Structure 1
Amino acid sequence: MGLDVQQRRRSDGSDDEDAGADHTAAAGATGVGRVAPPLGAVLVATEAAVNREDPQRVRTAAARVVDWVDRAGVVARHRARVTAEADAAFVELRARIVDVAIEDEGRWAVLPLRDADGHTLGRLARQVALPPLRPGEAAVLDQLTTEIPRVLRDVRSGFGLRRFFRGAKAREASERAARFLLEYEAWGSSAGVDATLDRLDDTAIPVGRVPVEHALAPGVGLTRRLPDSADAHLLEGTPVVVDQLPRATAIILAALAEEEPLRRSALDAATALRAAETDVVVAGMPVDRLRDATRERLLVRPLTDAGITSVHDVLVNGERLATLPGLGPMTARRIVGAAETLRHTTFEETTIRIDAASPSRGTHDLVRRLAAWDSGRRTRNPGRVVVRTRALAPLAVVLTGDVTRIVVLGDDPEGLLAAVAAVVERAPQIARTAPRPVPADPWADFLARPADYLTLLEELGLATSSEEAAQGGLPDEVVAAVRRCELRTDHLTVSLRGYQGFAARFALVQRKVVIGDEMGLGKTVEALAVLAHLWAQGARRFLVVCPAAVVTNWVREVEAKSSLPAHRLHGQDRDEALLAWRRDGGVAVTTYDMLGWLERQAEEEAPACVVVDEAHYIKNPAAKRSRRSARLIERAERAILLTGTPLENRVGEFRELVGYVRPDLVVDGSDLRPRLFRRQVAPAYLRRSQEDVLGELPELVEVEEWMPLSDADAAAYGDAVRSGNFQAMRQAAMLQGEASEKVQRLVEIVEEAEDNGRKVLVFSNYLDVLDAVARTLPGYVIGPLTGAVPAARRQEMVDAFTVADAGAALVAQIVAGGVGLNIQAASVVVICEPQLKPTTEWQAIARARRMGQLRSVQVHRLLSEEGVDARVVEILARKRALFAEFAAVSDTAEAAPEAFDVSDAAIMREVVEAEQLRLAGSGVVAVSATEDAVDPMNAAAAVQADDARVGDHGERESNADTSGQ
């Protein structure tokens, strides 16, 4: 129902103020919305004048309408007050909402509630409880509180003595108002205005109190006012959230505040070192480079004429450039601007690299300040705890002890609670950690543990790796789950790089995985981080299975980099170690050959986690060690297979490794599309390369040293080819002593290394070559280190090499020294002959090029220009391409099956036949067309005979079960 008062034009042209009613809506049971009579027609009809002899009728109608007006005013003011109080209550609550945003984890808006907020919620609920306005009722209230009072004033002016002092037009208006009033009263009586006002009048109902546990009930009205109310969750204010989070954040923030001056000092030193290195680069930048920094045409000839030849010179002489002949002020400003742009770009691209060979004063200062920061801080291995603490700190401030509920808006509240729990869990450890004494000699401390200092640089943001690369191309859902995992590092004594922490969390989330990180990235530490996390959560026994050559190294790593007990289940004391492991828990380290003995020591409980190092040893599912390892992996709740070379000759072998940890995965090894293959194994496989994640790794310089055969070499090589002896062909160029071109070059490399303060690793596959090299090389030679050398003696050789002076050489069989040992004291690697498997060479190089290596690593491959070396290098190139396609991420399309299936015997046949034909063409070798160039059976026997020379400790498996012997 709508009542309009408007200016209507009368027929005589004068203006009148008319009041009219317009009913268009139904009003339900009360009838307020029923259509009223055409009151406008009544107002303009002069013949329907009010009977001046009966004013009582007007007074009676006016009295009733006045009552309606008074009651409508009470209702309207009451509703406005309740609404204002509800708005104020929400403003009060909204002011308490705290936004929490944790990068890569979620965003939430959190509203803490106390029991005392029941009255505030009651004001919101009081508004919701107001009687709803039916159609037309809002208009009635508006008319009764605005328009009808004006009509009543006009009616009153037509009664009493006042009517004698008013003009004709005013009396007419009063009469029209009286007629309208009569009609309005009649309409209101029939439409049920009294009943409507009775229903809307709830002023007698007081504001109540709403228990906070009902805060999100529809009758309270809070959710309709909150943003993202569809995602609102009401959580109980648990002690972890209300009581412990404020204390935890206070502890962690206080620790950060204590170490901030030390951190800032280290960052300042790093910035100064970057600036100094930038100045060196800019000083060597010719002025012609200025053109690269701007689209403007710059004149550089006036600069060079004035002796300003570098960008550094421009920056130093910037103020006087405008005075040079041929340069004006505007051009000078452009030149200086371009120089500043180049310097800024160079500074941003300059990474911190600590030069151990020739450290500057700035380098020493940086190391000293890093040592002070590392000693003084209590937040080692911070992981995500610092990010979470800073994000949760504003929430902790408002979480007083009387908070009983929290309203969480936004992402899944479980993510918020997990972040809170992680901060609360970490705080006591930080509180217990005391600062350590600053090393007396920071530089010596740096040389002893360079990887820890490089981790400090990463925490400063100065040695970062690609986050995407660190994720190894995993699916988004796996990455998200890994990010949510909080890694406990209480029992680690080393700092983790970001990519290492990601690998550990990946293994924890996925439970059984293959980590195929390239050698040198610290897979051992990644596995130790998993074991330390599980130990902190209550797990007690873990087992590491590895080649015998690295048992000692594993025991050392566990003892040096964690607080977990280490037990050596290998050698004479293995029975006592087994009892200690079962009694005390910790990390047991055993070999593949010991698995048979370990199985016979029957025990129902499986290890909480099994780590299988150099997992490509179990790629053959038919081998005994593979079957035993598979049973062990299946029984364990968690398993980590470590290998830097998951694929060697066949994609099917890689499939076998994945099958050990995730037999449920459907992996189609016959489909040769690398991306599909990668997607299939993604839930169980993580691989990153050195270049992806180790920006501070030294430069790897690889040199192929091609040289001709000497006369003595050629004669020995011809004899080997005539006899079809592939192994002799490969060794011929290294067994002629000083008459050998390769040996002469090797001596030169070692002498040059000594002059440059470096040590050398010399690798060969053959014992005769190693013996010859050890006899021929000048200076201090250690070795040969072969597969026949016991594991303990191998480590002694490596230790002796580590402390030796520059120029020392460690001579090692590539299948023994290239597996498992850390030989980063060497920065020059020499490979005497190309290997038949690319992974064999990569493993050997990675012995020196590992995280913590401080110098560039030089790799020299000694290669003969003609003969077997060239043929093998061609085959190696094909194998490298295969590995790049499948073990790393590749866009390569389909490949041929034969590319994956090249056996050693096949290589031998191909090379020997080709060489016999080549030399026959030159008249050196005569080959009968009716006989085979090389007997495949003899070739295979030659391989077996050569392999057998590796020795019992070389981890080569025989058919006999020697476990436990």
Structure 2
Amino acid sequence: MIDRAGEAAWRVVPLGKDDTDIVRHLRKRAGLPMTTSDDQALLRLLTEDVPRALAQVARGLGARRFFSGPVKKQTADEAAEFLRRRHPTVIEADPPRRLERLGVITASVDRASAGLDALLDPALHFSLLPGPNGPKPELLDRSAVDGLTKALDTIDRILAGEDSYRSAAQEAARQVRVADAQRMLAEMPIEKLRAATGERLRLGPLTQAGIRTVQEVLVWDTSLRRLPGVGETSARRMLGAARALWQTAYDEMSVRFDVENRYPETTELLRRLAEWDACRQTRGAAADLERATELAPLRTAIGRKTSHLLVIPTRTLPAAGLRDSIDIVKRRAELLGTSSPSRRRRDVTADPWEDFLARPADYLAMLSELGFLTEDEDAAHGDLPEDIIQAVRDQALSGEYLTASLRGYQSFAARFALVQRKVIIGDEMGLGKSVEALAVLAHLRSRGETHFLVVCPAAVVTNWIREVSDKSKLQAHRVHGPERERAARAWECDGGVAVTTYETLGWWESALAEVRNLACVVVDEAHYIKNPEAQRTIRTNGLIARCKRVVLLTGTPMENRVDEFRNLASYIRPDLVLDATDLSPRKFRRQIAPAYLRRNQEDVLTELPELIEVAEWLPMTKPDATAYRAAVGDSEFMQMRQAAMLQGRESAKVQRLIEIVREAEANERRVIVFSYFREVLDLVAQLLPGPVFGPLTGAVAAGRRQQMVDDFSKAEHGAVLVAQIVAGGVGLNIQSASVVVICEPQLKPTAEAQAIARAHRMGQVHSVQVHRLLSEDSVDQRIVELLAGKQRLFDDFARVSTMADSTPEAVDLSEADLVHQVIAAERQRLAERAAAGD
């Protein structure tokens, strides 16, 4: 049996030439004619019942009848009577003809038809094979495992050589957890001892002795009983409580590299990891080594006479997956056998923090291999109870209609929604809540459901249309705007995903009430319906009540707005919601955990720093559109680019920007806002909430620029640095920011890439979110379309060559050409719209 992730993945049967006799026997058995129940009764009568009755009758015949007792005579008489009764029935059934038919073999058996591959024939009814609806087995030739034993031996030998370094790194990591636990207890007052024991303890003697913290209790240890007023029993209880608190702190403590507080034990851990990394040949091979562990049972199962392997899947993994694992392990062993540790050795005598800042992802990967980042898998479960977690794990997720790849935590969220039916997914912004919900819809489509509905603010309708079209095979319908009636009819007729707005629900409400096959409703930006008295809440809540499956999406952390969230949760699971005034946010979260899943980026994105890019396509408001049309009429290209930002609080882009900043504050993040235009930056600096630094422009002296960045980095969460992209995007390191907003598409892709690199760089300890503010049906869309080809070229070029940064002119579109094309296209589009009366 081959296990994967603690579960049986494949059953493997080694086979040799001698096993062909078994196959031939199975083939002969399969060639026997099919028998009916009457046939079976006749055979049983002729082979069992009649011979037994004849033997009993014989005891009552001839001379033996004189020596038989009364019991045997009675038995003989009963047997004779049995034969007399059955004789007419048997004669009527024409037994000779039936026996002749049953004696005919329906299929010939020769060596060709009795080869080992015949085991895969369902007609043989081989008991180890799954049924017709089960996973498909496969017969592998011996050559598939040739060299596997040698490969496993090579890997074992290399791992043994690295073991001492690995063990030293593990111990160093353990010491980091010990020190962190001690620091936590050094700040924990001794009053916590009472809570830990649930008993009344006299702490006065400790205070009189100058003992203030739980850690000091541990330092005193058994000497506590020597203090005046502390007896043997009290000392034992105090010390036991302190040790329990320490153990809890240690168990829950994660190993992290804090660049702001470089503790000696953390420095030692980095040094030990560097030493292990310098000598080891298995770096980056964690997944391959897992495969080697899986295949270890094959080493003893395969003998010299083995010619084939019958691979029988026991779950969703195909039989071909075993062959792939074997190839992976053999390739990894070949690489390890030819690599030289000395060629990869680093200077471990240097400052390990410098090496960490240069490649933090490598160190995090090593911690993961050592088992000190295992809490990340648990974080994907949020606060869910264990029974729900197990149910989610067991839930299948079909990707038949999904074209996007899901991360593990995204798959978990989709399966959670399928298991619990009506849920709130509250993942932090940037984790991909929309694709999680889309995975739910795609799975339901694979199960025969056809009609799905997304309700969202008008500003994200375009994003949803694009998500559905780009990441699934489902048909998207924009039930919003001038074409809403046609789109609604098409959706009702053909099915797919209807994307509509809270406001449009008022128009569509009565028609939706008649839709009986609505399989799932997705409510995006669900905090819009936290007010139960609002009309959009009443309409949406009506849909929630009628539909059997509902997914509410909101990135607002629950603990920041418990009262509002209580309302939101009550729409889908009123039975789980208690009075929030009597509960701490954490307890409240646990109460509604069966319906609520929340994960933060730092919990599930372990390969830091992660770059998450979001295109925020926004409709123009009326003031935006008026200013934009005027700029197009005057052929003012630069005014066209910034028109959608200069209308202040009436601008859709400004409104979205304010939302991003507020959400960043709630998630304890800082923001950089980039624009090409000084007028936009001045306006943004006036309107944004929280502390705002800048504008940082080309007119600011270099020394002052760095001071501005330093002040911004020391500011509280929610702080904003406003910077001109041609100035702030070059030469500055701004790792303290983890949210980047670009107000308009730039004419050179390299400008955006360099600006993003100010925050997304080695040493960044947060994932970086990039929000591009884009206006629908505008110059933004034209620029994006025209630069799409050049952007792809730039990406390909930059991935394979460091020359990209030094030769941006090789991939940037001529600004003069772009301006000419955009103005011409926009004039034509607006003219056509005016002619159509729009």
TM-score, with structure 2 as normaliser:
0.47
Flag the structure with larger Rg.
1
